[in-house]
Amino acid sequence: MRLRFLGKNSFPGDSPTLYATDRSSFIVQGWKVTDPEILAKLNLPADETCVEIPAALFVHLANDGLHGTIANWAPPIVHVTGEGTYIVQGKRVTDAEARAQMSIPEFEDCVEVTRVAIRALLREEDDLGVDHE
């Protein structure tokens, strides 16, 4: 799997990052979710996991031609925290070639979500900010 960097929200020690793939999907890299209450609410299949990201990370979707704002809190967004961050669920990225293209600290992981699923979350706007809902 080939990745194309779209953007990141980086703070010292943190690096939530968004990538586009060559498979009509996105890789969302974020903090591992360890909160037992959140994890208890999710029915995670063995090949899936979830990561926590700042909501602002999705602004980088524009670098792949998707314009708009997140207007639906539905899968792959499975939870919105009290701090306004998103819990994103998807296929755990295990592809060695893909992981080699990323810098993933021990406290982070990454999930793959389809472009279709992400697009369904957006209220699209054109380049002039006109809402096309």
130 domain residue, yes or no: no
Domain residues for the domain of 67 are 3-124
72 domain residue, yes or no: yes
113 domain residue, yes or no: yes
114 domain residue, yes or no: yes
CA separation for the pair 11, 102 (Å, rounded): 17
132 domain residue, yes or no: no
18 domain residue, yes or no: yes
Q: What pLDDT was estimated at residue 121?
A: 93
Per the structure, how many domains does the chain have? Answer: 1
Q: What pLDDT was estimated at residue 123?
A: 87
CA separation for the pair 100, 76 (Å, rounded): 24
Q: Return per-residue pLDDT of the chain as tens, 133 residues.
A: 999 999 998 766 568 999 999 999 999 999 999 999 999 999 899 999 999 999 999 999 999 999 888 988 899 999 999 999 999 999 999 999 999 999 899 999 999 999 999 999 998 765 445 444 4
Please state the pTM of the whole predicted model: 0.89
- How many other CB atoms are found less than 10 A from the CB of residue 54? 17
